[in-house]
Structure 1
Amino acid sequence: MSAYGNQVKSYIERYQAEMGGDGLLDPHALAEWAYQRGLHKPSMRTVVDAIASDISQFFREEYRTNGDGQRYRAKHAVRSKKGDKTMSLWADMDDEKAPREHFVRSFAQRRQQIVGDCFQLKTDVDVYNGKCPAMQPIQIPLDFTLDVEEMQLPLRGRKAA
């Protein structure tokens, strides 16, 4: 274990000894406790990463509604590697300067994330079903065409009106 890892382990053990509790650890409560006691002093990089994470979360949660009543996510990210560092660049759909290629890549990456989630869900269901062979297998359809069409119905009705 690294020196940093040993330091963190040490104050986790101290926290558990001082706070007692039920064996469950809240990382936020532990971090606040360690910070208040001067046991963990965040580096500038850690602070910048935390602020950047907050900004990215704000970007993810910004939605707008167009003239047809469609609620859309305003900002979209593209993840890419620069050397050994992974970074995300964000663009606003309403910014005319934002290149189309950014959104092509962003939408393709989001689709790939959905495929990965579906693959993992299918694996989890298959493993669960394998552990319970005497029971009727759980079926999880992965074709979302009808689900998406159903969610679009209220918008189609609005356009006709």
Structure 2
Amino acid sequence: MKAFVWDAHQIQALFSSVIIRKTKSPIDILAEKFSSAARAEIRKGAITSWQGSKQLTLWMDLDVAPRRISYKLFHQRREQMVGDAVQLTFDATH
């Protein structure tokens, strides 16, 4: 009986056609679930305010937030966007 001998080209051809799937660790699965849940929660907004020398962050669900809270949230977000745009122009022209 003759033994079959593989050369490097045959081995490479064999393994290049096989997709090797890496099993996910429990941490990877949990991270995917957290990521998915975070994407589902995009309707939440944060309002920052000051109480004495402490900065507070209030998270609200935009679907049930009172109008004054939503207005403040959108105002703060708009200020941040304008600030980011100004900084981007400074960076681009530097």
TM-score bin, normalised by smaller chain = 0.5 to 0.7
**Could you tell me which residue of structure 2 aligns to residue 122 of structure 1?**
89
Q: Which runs of 5+ in 2 are unaligned?
A: 1-34
Name the TM-score, length of structure 1 as normaliser.
0.33
CA contact (8 A) 1:74 1:92 kept: yes
Distance 1:121 1:110 in 2: 16
Q: Is the counterpart of residue 92 in structure 1 residue 61 in structure 2?
A: yes
Instruction: Report the count of equivalent residues.
Output: 58
* Match of residue 77 from structure 2: 110
Gaps of 5+ in 1: 1-57, 65-72, 128-161
Whose Rg is larger?
2
Q: Cα RMSD between the aligned structures?
A: 1.9
CA–CA distance in structure 1, aligned partners of residues 39 and 60 of structure 2: 12
- Paired letter, 1:108: H
CA contact (8 A) 1:77 1:106 kept: yes
Moved over 6 A (4+): none
After TM superposition, the score normalised by the length of structure 2 is: 0.55
